[in-house]
Amino acid sequence: MKRVLTPLLLWLAVASPTSAAAQDSPMANPEDVSSIDGVIRALYDVISGPAGQARDWNRFRSLFAPGARLMPTGKDQAGVGRIRVWSPEEYVQQAGSNLEKNGFFEREIGHTMERYGNIVQVLSAYDSKRTAADEKPFARGINGIQLWNDGKRWWILSIFWEQETPATPIPGKYLKPHH
């Protein structure tokens, strides 16, 4: 019997992160990608560190599916909504040196999660500090993180975030720790 590739099966064969494209990305630490909590923990850990400390950008890259996007959102000085769209590599190029130069520690302070099968949406509240010892964060906000499990590991598909402002405080439901 001849096997017929439907458009969906053909697309999955070409677009799957388990395809040849994923083989070009750095090998992930199994602890980082074997669970949802592991990926979230690794994401915050890999971008955090003191001023002058290089980050492990290959570890960062290993968390993301091919074609993944990182998208900071917010409002400009005139109050107009804005969004940037970066690949993981563009994030490293655009934000990486600033994180390393100035010091940056971001941690999750609570989250909510919705899951259906192998797809997950996490709204992860965060705070950001220049040093781990800082009493007050210089920023807080929410990261919207979309994840997918290919049957072998978890992949970050996209992260979009918005910084907290006086007009948009983080709602309490996002500040509850995950158990």
- What's the pLDDT at 131? 96
CA–CA dist 144, 121 (Å, integer)? 7
The DSSP code sequence of the chain is ------HHHHHHHHH-TTSHHHHTSPPPPHHHHSSHHHHHHHHHHHH-B-TTPPP-HHHHHHTEEEEEEEEEEEE-TTS-EEE--B-HHHHHHHHHHHHHHH-BEEEEEEEEEEEETTEEEEEEEEEEESSTT-SS-SEEEEEEEEEEE-SS-EEEEEEEEEE-BTTBPPPGGGSSPP-
Give the distance between the most distant pair of CA atoms in the chain.
Answer: 68
Q: Is the dihedral angle over the CA atoms 178, 110, 85, 132 positive or is it negative?
A: negative
What does pLDDT average to in each consecutive run of 10 residues of the chain (179 residues)? 49 47 75 97 98 97 97 91 96 93 96 97 97 96 98 97 95 80
For 2, 33, 34, 100, 116, the CA distances from 10, given in Å and listed in that order, are: 15, 26, 27, 42, 23
Which pTM value belongs to this model? 0.85
- Gap between the Cα atoms of 83 and 73, Å rounded: 4
Residue-level pLDDT at 171: 95
Q: What is the pLDDT of residue 20?
A: 39
> Looking at residue 79, what is its pLDDT?
87
pLDDT at residue 100, as a whole number: 93
CATH number of 29-174: 3.10.450.50
CB count, 10 Å around CB of 139? 12
